Structure 1
Amino acid sequence: MALSIIGAGFGRTGTDSLKTALEMLGVGKCYHMHEVMLRQDRVDNWRAIARGETPDWDMIFQGYGATVDWPAAFYWRELSAYFPDAKILLSVRDAGRWYDSMEKTIFTTLRKTKDLESLGLRLIRDKVFAGNIDDRDHVIDSYQRNIADVQATFPPERLLTYETGSGWDPICKFLDVPVPEDAYPHKNQSNEFHQKIDTLNKIREEKRD
Structure 2
Amino acid sequence: MALKVIGTGLGRTGTMSLKLALEQLGFGPCHHMVEVFMHPESVPLWVEAGRGRPDWDKLFDGYQAMVDHPGCRFWRELMDYYPDAKLIHTVRDPNKWFDSTQATIFAPGGGAVNPPEPMKDFFGMVMEEYQGRQHEREYMVEHFQRHTDDVLATVPPERLLVFEAAQGWAPLCAFLGVPVPETPYPRENSTSDFQARVRTNAMDPEKMKAEIDAMRSH
| TM-score (ref. length: structure 2) | 0.87
Q: How does 1:31-110 map to 2 (within 5 A)?
A: 31-50=31-50, 52-108=51-107, 109=110, 110=112
Residue in structure 2 matched with residue 27 of structure 1 by the alignment: 27
CA offsets, 1:128-176, max 9 Å, x none?
A: 2123212111111111111000011122210000023110011001011
Residue in structure 1 matched with residue 211 of structure 2 by the alignment: none
The 2-side partners of 1:84 and 1:107 are apart by 33
Specify the SS of the correspondent of 1:157. helix
Q: Residues 150 and 199 from structure 1, CA distance in 2 versus in 1: closer, same or farther, beyond 3 angstroms? A: same
The 1-side partners of 2:164 and 2:179 are apart by 19
Q: Is the 8 A contact 1:125 1:132 kept in 2?
A: no
Q: CA shift at 1:201, angstroms?
A: 2.9
| Residue ranges of structure 2 left out of the alignment (5+ in a row) | 208-218
Residue in structure 2 matched with residue 119 of structure 1 by the alignment: 122
The 2-side partners of 1:124 and 1:138 are apart by 17
Residue in structure 1 matched with residue 212 of structure 2 by the alignment: none
Residue in structure 2 matched with residue 18 of structure 1 by the alignment: 18
Deviates more, 1:1-10 or 1:157-166: 157-166
The 2-side partners of 1:35 and 1:43 are apart by 10
The 2-side partners of 1:39 and 1:10 are apart by 21
The 2-side partners of 1:178 and 1:46 are apart by 34
Q: CA shift at 1:202, angstroms?
A: 5.9
Residue in structure 1 matched with residue 151 of structure 2 by the alignment: 150
The 1-side partners of 2:2 and 2:65 are apart by 8
The 2-side partners of 1:5 and 1:54 are apart by 22
Q: Is the 8 A contact 1:32 1:70 kept in 2?
A: yes
The 1-side partners of 2:96 and 2:203 are apart by 25
The Cα RMSD (Å) is: 1.8
The 2-side partners of 1:201 and 1:49 are apart by 24
The 2-side partners of 1:144 and 1:20 are apart by 25
Equivalent residue letter for 1:22? L
The 2-side partners of 1:157 and 1:53 are apart by 28
| TM-score (ref. length: structure 1) | 0.91
Residue in structure 2 matched with residue 207 of structure 1 by the alignment: none
Specify the SS of the correspondent of 1:75. helix
CA offsets, 1:39-74, max 9 Å, x none?
A: 221122212222x14111011101110000000001
CA offsets, 1:72-117, max 9 Å, x none?
A: 0010000000000000100000001111100000111233435372
Q: CA shift at 1:30, angstroms?
A: 0.4
Residue in structure 1 matched with residue 181 of structure 2 by the alignment: 180
Q: 1:203 aligns with which of 199, 206, 214?
A: 206
Q: Percent identical across equivalent pairs? A: 43
The 2-side partners of 1:196 and 1:68 are apart by 19
Equivalent residue letter for 2:177? D
The 1-side partners of 2:57 and 2:179 are apart by 29
Q: How many residues align?
A: 202
Deviates more, 1:107-116 or 1:136-145: 107-116
